[in-house]
């Protein structure tokens, strides 16, 4: 029996010829990652081991959640990471002005690559499956052990085959695809399973689409969301990755626990209603839902292609007078390129707030916090109760296209 992509990567890193679902394996890690929220408690646990870090070049510490520091406590969290990075000479630590959102800059900087095995103390670490790696979120203790040993244990997951067919319409992006999938299988539909994407429809997806889709695999309960290595992957990797890598693709006889087929040509813009990503409706079904705020950015949709979609819609138009719109580039390079292309002027002229790269409002950290009764259309990845502010506020998840249209209309919309 052949192996799927997830099994191949885990087998390689466990130094085994073959693995099967349910098997427990100990794997050598290519990258261990933490941010300013998860890093400090992991560092505290790591220090109990009394060991040095396993490899200062295979650790990434990214201060992006509450940074630039919003208050004294967030400044203290950043200092813990900063001091640790200096003490252990961590190669991939990026200070203010050189940092961006972790799941944007790690692919952008070429730190993650095909065939790699990555753990991160952040649930959206599954993003890196877009570049043909197996990456997953872990807890504080597993992260601490990873810092010390460069190893982690895994139960080899079953895999769901998401088979994509058809041609993607212009107004459909990766966000619509992953929300549609979550709407089909639910937030626990892939619990402790990897999600692997196959089919001719994969060729329709840009790397931005893939990064968005893999990012939200966790919202279906997935352990990872893995894309095959193809021409799109190779083009991206050739531009960003400067080290050797070993891509993987599933064997023809690879085993999957189930198959979900999605015809891209039939998709319509969708929005996930409060308070779960599985509460998916088409925008046409949404009805007259007035909104107070729009957020365009985050590790899910803060890339250059996402900003381009918004800029094209906002150009020459004004944000609805009853709406606040916050635009957050995912990295300094994206921010700078958006300036050069004139998009920042477009955003400001249309009435948007433009922020330095940060997670900011996504997790209710700071900036764009909602009060009771307010509604926000957001390109972020979660809409749990109280996620972006007051427990009586509402977050509707959508693509940059739908979010920008909604900002102009003052209500959930996909027309402009």
Q: What is the pLDDT of residues 275-313, one digit of tens each?
A: 999 999 999 999 899 999 999 999 999 999 999 999 999
pLDDT band at 362 (very low <50, low <70, confident <90, very high): confident
Q: 129 with 5: CB under 8 angstroms? A: no
The yes-or-no verdict on residue 1 having pLDDT over 80 is no
Average pLDDT value for residue range 232-250: 96
Distance in angstroms (rounded) separating the CA atoms of residues 375 and 270: 17
- For 281, phi then psi, to 5°, come to -135, 155
Is there a common fold for 5-263 and 271-409?
Answer: yes
Which tokens in the block code for residue 333?
């390079």
Evaluate the omega torsion of the peptide bond into residue 68 and state whether it is cis, within 30 degrees of 0: yes
Distance in angstroms (rounded) separating the CA atoms of residues 163 and 181: 11
What residue spans define the domains of the chain?
5-263, 271-409
pLDDT band at 9 (very low <50, low <70, confident <90, very high): very high
Distance in angstroms (rounded) separating the CA atoms of residues 334 and 368: 21
Q: What percent of the chain lies above the pLDDT cut of 90?
A: 93
Average pLDDT value for residue range 323-335: 97
Q: Quick one: pLDDT at residue 245?
A: 96
CATH number corresponding to 271-409: 3.30.499.10
Average pLDDT value for residue range 94-123: 95
Q: What is the pLDDT of residues 158-170, one digit of tens each?
A: 999 999 999 999 9
The H or E element spanning position 162 is: strand 158-165
Q: What is the overall mean pLDDT for the chain?
A: 95
Q: Quick one: pLDDT at residue 96?
A: 86
Average pLDDT value for residue range 366-370: 91
Q: What is the pLDDT of residues 124-164, one digit of tens each?
A: 999 999 999 999 999 999 999 999 999 999 999 999 999 99
16-38 burial: b if 16+ Cβ within 10 Å, else e: eeebebeeebebebbbbbbbbbb
The yes-or-no verdict on residue 253 having pLDDT over 90 is yes
pLDDT band at 77 (very low <50, low <70, confident <90, very high): very high
Question: Which CATH fold topology does 5-263 show?
Answer: Aconitase; domain 3 (3.30.499)
Distance in angstroms (rounded) separating the CA atoms of residues 62 and 39: 9
């Amino acid at each position: 029996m052949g192996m799927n992509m997830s099994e191949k990567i885990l087998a390689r890193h466990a130094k085994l010829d073959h693995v099967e679902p349910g098997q427990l394996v100990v794997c050598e890690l290519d990258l261990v990652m933490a941010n300013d929220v998860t890093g400090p408690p992991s560092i505290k646990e790591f220090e109990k081991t009394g060991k040095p870090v396993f490899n200062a070049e295979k650790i990434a510490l990214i201060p992006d959640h509450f940074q630039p520091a919003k208050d004294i406590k967030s400044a203290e969290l950043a200092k813990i990471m900063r001091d640790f990075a200096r003490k252990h000479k961590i190669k991939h630590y990026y200070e203010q002005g050189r940092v961006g959102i972790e799941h944007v800059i790690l692919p952008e900087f070429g730190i993650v690559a095909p065939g790699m095995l990555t753990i991160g103390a952040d649930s959206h670490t599954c993003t890196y499956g877009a570049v043909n790696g197996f990456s997953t979120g872990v807890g504080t203790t597993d992260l601490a052990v990873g810092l010390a040993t460069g190893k982690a244990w895994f139960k080899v997951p079953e895999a769901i085959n998401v088979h994509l067919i058809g041609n993607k319409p212009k107004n459909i992006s990766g966000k619509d695809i992953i929300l549609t999938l979550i709407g089909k299988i639910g937030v626990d539909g892939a619990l402790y399973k990897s999600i692997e994407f196959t089919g001719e429809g994969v060729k329709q997806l840009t790397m931005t689409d893939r990064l968005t889709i893999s990012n939200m695999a966790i919202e279906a309960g997935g352990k990872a969301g893995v894309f095959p290595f193809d021409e799109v992957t190779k083009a991206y990797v050739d531009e960003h990755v400067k080290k050797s890598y070993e891509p993987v693709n599933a064997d023809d006889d690879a085993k999957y626990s189930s198959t979900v087929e999605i015809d891209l040509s039939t998709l319509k813009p969708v929005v996930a209603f409060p308070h779960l990503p599985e509460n998916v409706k088409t925008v046409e079904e949404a009805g007259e839902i007035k909104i107070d705020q729009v957020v365009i950015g985050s590790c899910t949709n803060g890339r250059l292609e996402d900003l381009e979609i918004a800029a094209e819609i906002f150009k020459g138009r004004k944000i609805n007078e009853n709406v606040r719109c916050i635009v957050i580039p995912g990295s300094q390079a994206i921010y700078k390129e958006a300036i050069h292309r004139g998009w920042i002027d477009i955003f400001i002229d249309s009435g948007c707030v433009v922020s330095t790269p940060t997670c900011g409002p996504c997790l209710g950290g700071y900036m764009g916090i909602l009060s009771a009764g307010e509604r926000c259309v957001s390109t972020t990845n979660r809409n749990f109760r109280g996620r972006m502010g007051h427990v009586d506020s509402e977050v509707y998840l959508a693509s940059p296209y739908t979010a920008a249209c909604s900002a102009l209309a003052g209500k959930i919309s996909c027309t402009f």
